[in-house]
Amino acid sequence: MSTVWIFTGPKAPFPAGAFASRATAEKWIQQHGLSGTLTAYPLDVGAYDWAVAAGHFTPRKEDQRSAEFIQRFSSASQEHHHYEHGRA
């Protein structure tokens, strides 16, 4: 499955960058001394659907199938890395 790497800074309402490789993303993060999270997202499938299909998440309550829940969903099972001032 193809992935894209998304970087989001602390308290940012939107991602600050999207990258085809972790190495390219880390070079950019280091270059600018950024703090935040770099997360791998599967392409052409939502994080919620990916997590359910992979068995990483099972909705147990009806509200966990709602649009409001799905549009805010993220999974700890997605590969992610934390940075402070450009350093992992």
Kindly report, residue by residue over 33-88, the tens digit of the pLDDT. 999 999 999 999 999 999 999 999 999 999 999 999 999 999 999 999 999 999 99
pLDDT at residue 69, as a whole number? 98
Domain ranges of the chain: 3-83
Q: What is the pLDDT of residue 50?
A: 97
Find tokens 């990258």 and name the residue: 19
pLDDT of residue 1: 75
